[in-house]
């Protein structure tokens, strides 16, 4: 694998003295697909101000923000269909609603979509729980193209349903499908036509990510078989590393740590790899760093890594752990930060926001010596979705409501 070249703000981290910028939250894990924001959040003394809230239908898909819209993917009650809804970010008023039919799907953990939409070039792409990939005009919701990926590529749906969030990059849409010779498929954003398809692996619940720039960029994807690095232009694999979750529930997104890559699952633990041509080199493994569906986030210095881990034995409980990025050695742990899940976001000043599945948000500082909580509030009901932050507005969803909070 070629050397990874990072954007400057990612490579060096963001410091408190830098000017705070506003940006969209255009897809899974934000604008850089790594849980980082160029904005800040002011510690709150009382409950954060609610700008608006509205009832929404079922789903675990996370909200995104683009072009002044909040977009959310949900199930249509009583029908075998899903809908994408665009609301005004400042008021919550519906701008447009678009519906996609789907195959029947039932699951005791919810029947709504899991995958988070992605936006780019005035378009929005959604991926339904039965594998329907649809592209729409961001302003009007008009359908531009649609592909039933499981039917088209001979894939078999997962127990919890198709969950991989699409990635838009350089006029292309990348998606983990898990079909025959189509573990990963690259589509044209403009037309929906297949540009390439690659590998035979079954899909996991993870989402792909692009690291590096230009001809040095690489597509990282965590399938059921393991972590793979591919050329995003051709789909040609550079290398594959075996990482098999005993429950087939790999859900985290691969993380860049300096020049290394981190991959994790709830039964395997975590592994840090140094990319190399043909075969990556293992930097370290930590079987205790059992990440379920919360993706780890490095500190601003890049020397530490924060990860929310879970355990298989009841009762379920999540732990926030801090480890050395270079060795995987645990530095400290905070017990009981969630039941199954807590989402992490690193802000421009190096502080962290955590949104746990009890419905609480916490603002805290963290480093090698521990964490300091600056503010904490219960703001919604139980949720497994990740929050979106844009223009000082934090958008969250639970199983019943979509809520916009003023946080700056």
Residue 1 is assigned to a structural domain of this protein: no
Contact 113, 85 (CB under 8 A): no
pLDDT at 19: 55
Give the sheet arrangement for strand 393-397, strand by strand: 49-55, 401-406, 393-397, 388-390
Q: Which residue has the tokens 């070629």?
A: 2
pLDDT at 109 over 50: yes
Residue 127 is assigned to a structural domain of this protein: yes
R_g (Cα) of the chain, nearest Å: 19
CB atoms within 10 A of CB 55: 7
Residue 81 is assigned to a structural domain of this protein: yes
Residue 289 is assigned to a structural domain of this protein: yes
Report the number of distinct structural domains present in the chain: 1
167: closest CA among 104, 217, 215?
217
Residue 351 is assigned to a structural domain of this protein: yes
pLDDT in tens, 145-186: 999 999 999 999 999 999 999 999 999 999 999 999 999 999
Q: How does DSSP assign 2-13, residue by residue?
A: PPP---HHHHH-
Structure tokens at 290: 């059992």
pLDDT at 8: 34
- Average the pLDDT over 198-206 and give the result: 97
Q: How many CA atoms lie within 13 A of 205 on its CB side?
A: 24
Q: What single DSSP character describes residue 36? A: B
Band the pLDDT of 81: cuts 50, 70, 90.
Answer: very high
> How far is CA 353 from its chain centroid?
15
> If you average pLDDT over every residue of the chain, what do you get?
94
pLDDT at 16: 39
Residue 2 is assigned to a structural domain of this protein: no
Q: Any idea how long the chain is?
A: 408
Structure tokens at 261: 């890559």
253: closest CA among 137, 118, 57?
118
pLDDT at 48 over 80: yes
Residue 3 is assigned to a structural domain of this protein: no
CB atoms within 10 A of CB 180: 12
pLDDT at 192 over 80: yes
Strand partners, 322: 306, 332
pLDDT at 22: 86
Q: How many CA atoms lie within 13 A of 228 on its CB side?
A: 25
pLDDT at 31: 97
Band the pLDDT of 20: cuts 50, 70, 90.
Answer: low
Cα-based torsion angle of the residue sequence 297, 299, 300, 304 in order, rounded to the nearest 10 degrees: -120
Range of the domain at 208: 8-406
pLDDT in tens, 270-324: 999 999 878 899 999 999 999 999 999 999 999 999 999 997 778 889 999 999 9
pLDDT at 6: 38
Contact 223, 177 (CB under 8 A): no
Whether the model clears a pTM of 0.85, i.e. scores above it, the answer is yes
pLDDT at 21: 77
pLDDT at 13: 44
pLDDT at 17 over 70: no
Which residues, at least 6 apart from 282, have a Cβ–Cβ distance to it below 8 Å?
Answer: 271, 272, 273, 274
- Average the pLDDT over 98-118 and give the result: 96
Band the pLDDT of 12: cuts 50, 70, 90.
Answer: very low
Phi, psi of 185 (to 5 degrees): -125, 135
Coil vs helix vs strand at 216: helix
Residue 323 is assigned to a structural domain of this protein: yes
CATH of the domain at 57: 2.140.10.10
Q: How does DSSP assign 296-337, residue by residue?
A: -EE-TTSSEEEEEE--SSSSP-EEEEEEETTT--EEEEEEEE
pLDDT at 219: 98
Coil vs helix vs strand at 128: coil
């Amino acid at each position: 694998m070629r050397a990874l070249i990072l954007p400057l703000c990612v490579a060096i981290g963001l410091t408190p003295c830098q000017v705070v910028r506003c940006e969209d939250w255009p897809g899974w894990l934000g604008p850089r697909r790594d849980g980082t924001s160029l904005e800040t959040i002011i510690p709150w003394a009382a409950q954060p101000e609610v700008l608006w809230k509205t009832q929404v239908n079922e789903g675990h898909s996370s909200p995104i923000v683009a072009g002044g819209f909040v977009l959310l993917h949900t199930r249509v009650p009583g029908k075998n269909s899903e809908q994408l809804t665009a609301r005004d970010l400042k008021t919550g008023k519906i701008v447009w609603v678009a519906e996609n039919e789907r195959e029947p799907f039932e699951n005791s953990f919810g029947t709504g979509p899991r995958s988070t939409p992605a936006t780019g070039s005035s378009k929005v792409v959604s991926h339904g729980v039965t594998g329907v990939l649809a592209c729409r005009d961001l302003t009007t919701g008009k359908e531009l193209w649609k592909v039933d990926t499981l039917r088209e590529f001979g894939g078999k749906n997962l127990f919890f349903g198709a969950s991989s969030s699409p990635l838009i990059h350089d006029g292309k849409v990348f998606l983990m499908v898990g079909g025959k010779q189509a573990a990963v498929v690259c589509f044209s954003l403009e037309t929906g036509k297949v540009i390439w398809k690659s590998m035979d692996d079954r899909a996991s619940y993870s989402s792909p990510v692009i690291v590096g720039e230009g001809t040095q960029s690489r597509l990282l994807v965590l399938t059921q078989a393991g972590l793979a690095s591919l050329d995003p232009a051709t789909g040609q694999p550079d290398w594959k590393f075996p990482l098999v979750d005993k429950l087939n529930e790999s859900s985290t997104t691969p993380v860049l740590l300096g020049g290394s890559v981190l991959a994790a699952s709830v039964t395997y633990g975590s592994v840090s790899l140094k990319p190399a041509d043909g075969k990556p080199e293992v930097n370290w493994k930590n079987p205790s760093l059992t990440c379920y569906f919360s993706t780890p986030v490095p500190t601003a210095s890049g020397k530490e890594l924060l990860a929310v881990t879970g355990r298989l034995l009841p009762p379920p409980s999540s732990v926030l752990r801090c480890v050395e990025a270079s060795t995987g050695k645990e530095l400290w742990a905070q017990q009981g930060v969630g039941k199954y899940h807590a989402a992490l976001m690193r802000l421009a000043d190096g502080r962290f926001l955590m949104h746990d599945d009890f419905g609480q948000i916490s603002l805290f500082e963290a480093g090698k010596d521990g964490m300091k909580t600056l503010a904490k509030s219960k703001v919604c009901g139980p949720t497994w979705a990740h929050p979106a932050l844009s223009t000082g507005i934090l958008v969250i969803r639970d199983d019943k409501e979509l809520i916009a909070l003023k946080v700056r």
